[in-house]
Structure 1
Amino acid sequence: MPQSERLPPSSAAPVPAPTPEPGAVTRLVRSIRGLPLAERWWGPGCAGLPGWFQAESAPTTDATPRFQELYARARRGEPVLPAEANRHLYLLVKGMLGDELFGYLEDNQLRLEQRGLETCAVSVDTEGSLEANLAQVRKALENAAFFRRSVVLVGHSKGAVESLSALAMYPHLRACVRAVVALQAPYGGSPVAHDLMASPEMRRVVDIALPLLFYGVSRSVEDLSYPRRMEFVRRHPYPVEIPTVSLATSRDSRRSLLWPVAHYMRERYGLASDGLVATVDAEIPGSRVVRLDDLDHAQAALMGIPGLAPHHPGDLTEAMVALALE
C-alpha cells in the first residue's frame, strides 16, 4: 500500500486495566516494612509493671506439689476427680484467636466429657473485646443459675480473664459458681499486649492486622495492656471466696514455638513467661497456684508433638479441675 494511503495512527490511547486493590496481607506487610528502626520506638516499655497487683491483693497458696501428684495419677489413667464432679456443669471459655486455631481446647473439653462430665463452650468472640465477651459469660452463668445448675468455669488465657472479670463485676453470678480454673490468664496484663499498644507504630500494625486478618478489633489487645487491667482490677477486685486455681507457667526453650517472644521478655525485662503472659501476672489473688517452668502458652490448650510437649492438655485439665474441687 502506498505511504499516502496508510491510515493515520489512532489518537486514542489504550485504556489501562484497573489495578486491583491490595489485599489485607499485602497492606499488613507494607505497614510492617514502613516501621522505623527499633531504637526509635523502643521506649521504657512495661518495665516495673508485671505483677503490679500482688502487693495490694490477697496472697496465693502454692499447690504445685499436689497438682503433680494428681497429674501423675491422671497420666496413669487413675481416677482423680471427686464424687461431686458429676454434679456440675463445666463452662469452657476460649482465649484470643481461639476460633482460628485448629483443635484449640478440644482435648481439654473431651477429657472432661470422657469422665462423664457435662460441658459447654461459652460462645465468646475470640477476636472480640473484653466488654462484649463479658456479656456472653454473664449470659451463660445466668442461664445456668435459672436452671439451678452449679458451674465450674474453665478459661484459658483471655478467656480466663473474661471468666474472672464477670464474677468480679456481677456479684449475683457468684452463687452458682462452685470453682474456677484459670489457665495461663493475663490477669494483671500482658507484656506483649502492652508493648504492642504502647508504640504508635506497632499499634498501627495491630489496628490493621486484627480487623482485616481476623475480623476482630484492636481493643481486644488493648484490654490486656497494663493500664487497662489496672483500671479494671482496682474497680472490680476478684472475689477471693470463690475456690480458684490458677496455672502460671514459663518456658524459655528453643523447642517452643513461642521461644522468640519468651526470649524477648527475658532479655528486655528479666521476666519468666510462657511466651505471651508473664508468670507473675497469671497468679490470681487468693488462688491456689500451680507453677510450671516447662510449659508455653499454647501447650496447655493445644495437642503438641509427642516428645516435645511436656504436658498433655487433657491430663492437665483433669488434674486442675480435681484440685479446684478439693
Structure 2
Amino acid sequence: MDNILTKLFRLTNYISDRFLQFIEDLVLREIARYTESLGVTPVAIPSVHGSTRSTSLQPSQIGGENHGIFEKRASNNSKELLVDTSSIVLYAISISEAVPSFFLKGLTLLLYGLIYAWSLGMAFWRYPLSCIKCAQVHVHRIKSRMVKTLRGSSDDIGWLQHAPGMPLVQDGTSRFLELLSDIRNGKHSLPSSFVYLLIPGLFSNHGPLYFVATKRFFSKMGLACHIAKVQSEASVEQNALELKLYIEEIYWGSSRPVMLLGHSKGGIDAAAALSMYWSDLKDKVAGLALVQSPYGGSPIASDILREGQIADKETRRILELIICKTIKGDMRALEDLTYVKRKEFIMKHKLPLDIPLISFHSEASIAPGVLATMTQIADAELPWLPLRKLWIVESDSFLESRHQVPVMVPISAAMAVCALHLRLRYGEKSDGLVTCRDAEVPGSVVVRPKMKLDHAWMVYSSKKRSPSEHDACEMCEALLTLLVELGNTKREVD
C-alpha cells in the first residue's frame, strides 16, 4: 500500500507539471504571435518552473472584447498598449497557475495524510504480526526437534543392507558351531604360522582385564598373541594409522602374517586400517574378524550426539566434560560411531574384498533375572579426581599413586537395560550397544549364534559360568579358526 500511494503521488506531480507547462507554452505562443504582428520588442516573462522566457506579449488571449480595445490603443500608442497587455497577460498567467497549484497542494496534503494514516495502521499491526511470526517459528523449531528426537535412528538402522553396490554376506554360523564344538572337545586346529592381534574397543584403556583372559588362553596353546596398544578414546583414523604401524612392526619382527580380531570399535579401527592402507598391508594381514562391531553405526551413539534434537547442546557439553576433560580422550572416538560418520567413511574408504572377513553379532538377554541380578561383573579403573584440602599438604607422589580407582561394574545388567531399550524403541535385536543388522559387514561371512551374549561378554568372562557353557576364549578361537579356513579356501580358488 505504501508503494501504491507513493507512486500515485509522483504521478500526480508529473501530470500537474506537464499541465502547467502546456498552459504556459500556449499563452506565451499566442503573445509572441500577437506582438510580432504589432512589431514590438519581446519582453522577459517568468516561467512557471522558475526560469525566464523571452517572448512578445499578445493580448489576444484576454478575451474577444478586450482584443478590439487593445487594437485601438495600439494604433494610437504602441508602448502603452504593450505595457497593458503585459500586465493583463501576467495576471492571467498567475491566475491560471494559482488554480492548479492550490488544487495540487490540497491533493498532496490528502495523499500525505493517507500515507501517514496507512503507516500508523501498519505500525499498529506490524508488531503483533511480528510477534505471531516469531512464535510460529519457535513452535516450528520445537516441533522439529521433538520429531527428530522421537524419530531417533529409525531410518538409519540397517542402512548397509539397502545401500546400492554393497556385496552380499554369507552365513557361516553352522561351520562356526562345528568348530566351537571341536574346541570344547579338546580339538584345537589354530595354526602357529600367524600372529594373532586382538584389538580392544572404546574405553578399553580403563578396563584392566580387557582381552587378558583370551591372550592368556592363546599363549598357553603356544600361539603368538598380542593386544594392540592403541588409544581407545581416539578417532578411527588415528587408530587406523597406529594399527598400520603396529602390524608392520609385528610382521617385520616375526616374518609372519597377522590375523586381526577386533571387538566393538576395535573392529572398526582395524577395518579402517585395511581400507586406508591396504597397499601397505596387503601381504602382512591374513584376515579380519569383527566381533560385535558397529560397522554401520550405533544407535546409542547416534541418539546421544544427534544434532537438532532436544537438549543436544547440553548433552554434548556433558560428554565433552567426561571424555575430553576427565578421561583425556577425543570426542571423535564417539562421533565416529554415529550413522552419519560411518556413512561418510564407508563411502569414502572401501573395505578390500580380497581378504577373508568375518562379522560376528549376538543378542543380549533381557530376562528379568539378568536385569535384577549381577550375573557378570566387569573390572574397571576410573580416573581419580583428588580434592585438595586447604589445611593438608599432599605430595605429588601420593596423588600419582591414587590416580586410578578400581570399580566393579554390573555390565550384564547395564547391557540388558540398553538391549531392552533398543527393542522397545526400534524393535531391533541387539547386544545392548550394537544392533544385529548394523554389525553385518557387506561381503563378509556372518556368524549369528543363538546364544544370549551381550556386548561385553566376549571380553569379560563371567565369574559364575557353568562348565557346560561356552567360554569367550573358545569363541574367539573358533572365529579365528574359521578365518584361517576362509583364507585357505580363497587361496585355493585364486
TM-score class, shorter-chain normalisation, is: 0.7 to 0.9
Aligned residues: 286
Choose which of 215, 218, 234 in structure 1 pairs with 2:347: 234
Q: 1:188 aligns with which of 296, 312, 328?
A: 296
Moved more, 144-153 or 92-101: 144-153
Aligned to 2:359: 246
| Residue 269 of structure 1 pairs with residue 378 of structure 2 | no
1:121 aligns with 2:227: yes
State the secondary structure of the residue aligned to 1:318: helix
Native 8 Å contact 1:122 1:136 kept in 2 = no
Measure how far apart 1:142 and its partner are: 2.3
Match of 2:154 among 34, 47, 53: 47
| Matching of residue 211 in structure 1 with residue 211 in structure 2 | no
**SS at structure 2 position matched to 1:119:** strand
Quote the Cα distance in structure 2 between the aligned partners of 1:145 and 1:115. Answer: 21
Q: Which residue of 2 aligns with 1:8?
A: none
Report the CA distance between 1:295 and its aligned residue.
Answer: 0.7
Matched, 1:313 2:472: yes
Kept after mapping to 2: 8 A contact 1:152/1:179: yes
Q: What residue identity is the alignment partner of 1:291?
A: R
Please say if residues 211 and 218 of structure 1, whose CA atoms lie closer than 8 Å, have aligned partners that are also in contact.
yes
Judge which range, 201-210 or 222-231, deviates more: 201-210
How far did residue 202 of structure 1 move? 2.4
Secondary structure of residue in 2 paired with 1:325: helix
Alpha carbons 2:196, 2:261 under 8 Å: kept: yes
Paired position in structure 1 for 2:262: 155
2:382 matched to 1:225?
A: no
Residue 437 of structure 2 is matched in structure 1 by: 280
Q: Is the 8 A contact 1:248 1:283 kept in 2?
A: yes
CA distance in 1, matches of 2:147, 2:445: 42
Query: 4+ residue stretches of structure 1 with deviation over 6 A?
Result: 38-41
Using the TM superposition, give the Cα deviation of residue 109 of structure 1 relative to its aligned residue in structure 2, in angstroms. 1.6
Q: Secondary structure at the match of 1:175?
A: coil
Aligned 8 A contact 1:196 1:206 in 2 = no
Question: 2:413 matched to 1:300?
Answer: no
Deviation at 1:298, TM superposition (A): 0.3
- After TM superposition, the structure 1 stretch with the greater mean CA deviation from structure 2, 159-168 or 127-136, is 127-136
* Alpha-carbon distance in 1 for matches of 2:222, 2:284: 20
Q: Distance in 2 between matches of 1:80 and 1:250?
A: 28
Per the alignment, residue 482 of structure 2 pairs with 323
Asked if 1:65 is matched to 2:224, the reply is no
1:26 maps to none
- Larger mean CA deviation between 195-204 and 275-284 belongs to 195-204
Letter in 1 for 2:290: A
More helix by share: 2
Shift of 1:41: 7.8
Q: Which residue of 2 aligns with 1:167?
A: 274
**Structure of higher CA gyration radius:** 2
Q: 1:207 to 1:311 in 2, by over 3 A?
A: farther
1:289 aligns with 446
Distance 1:281 1:271 in 2: 10
For 1:145 and 1:192, the matched residues in 2 are separated by 36
Paired letter, 1:316: M
- Displacement of 1:39 in angstroms is 6.6
Gaps of 5+ in 1: 1-37
Within 5 Å, which residues of 2 pair with 1:98-109? 98-109=204-215
What residue is the counterpart of 1:29 in the other structure? Answer: none
* Alignment-derived partner of residue 9 in structure 1: none
- Does the 8 Å CA contact 2:366/2:417 hold for their aligned counterparts? no
Instruction: Answer whether contact 1:300 1:311 (CA < 8 A) is retained.
Output: no
Work out the CA distance in 1 between the residues paired with 2:352 and 2:344: 16
Q: Distance in 1 between matches of 2:340 and 2:475?
A: 32
Q: After superposition, where does 1:14-29 map in structure 2 within 5 Å?
A: none
How far apart, in 2, do the equivalents of 1:124 and 1:241 lie?
26
- CA, structure 1 residues 168+49, in 2 after alignment: closer, same or farther (shift >3 Å)? same
CA distance in 1, matches of 2:364, 2:443: 24
Distance 2:428 2:168 in 1: 20
Shift of 1:191: 0.6
Give TM-score scaled by structure 1 length. Answer: 0.82
C-alpha deviations, 1:103-128, integer Å up to 9, x for none?
11112222222221111222210112
Identity %: 33
* In 2, Cα distance between equivalents of 1:39 and 1:101: 37
Q: Which runs of 5+ in 2 are unaligned?
A: 1-144, 307-311, 371-411, 486-494
Contact 1:70 1:80 in 2 (8 A): no
With over 3 angstroms needed to count, the CA separation of the structure-2 counterparts of 1:236 and 1:42, relative to structure 1, is: same
* SS in structure 2 of the partner of residue 208 of structure 1: helix
Residues of 2 paired with 1:179 and 1:213: CA distance? Answer: 36
RMSD: 2.0
Give distance in 1, aligned partners of 2:365 and 2:198. Answer: 28
Deviation, 1:177, is 1.1
Evaluate the alpha carbon distance shift between residue 244 and residue 216 of structure 1 in structure 2; reply closer, same or farther with a 3 A threshold: same
SS of 2:447's partner is strand
Asked whether the 8 Å contact 2:211–2:227 carries over to 1, the reply is: no
Deviation at 1:145, TM superposition (A): 4.3
CA shift, 1:252, in A, is: 3.4
Distance in 2 (alpha carbons) for counterparts of 1:46 and 1:316? 30
Query: Alignment partner of 1:90: what SS?
Result: strand
Task: Provide the rounded CA distance (Å) in 2 between the counterparts of 1:183 and 1:50.
Answer: 18
**C-alpha distance in 2, partners of 1:205/1:252?**
30
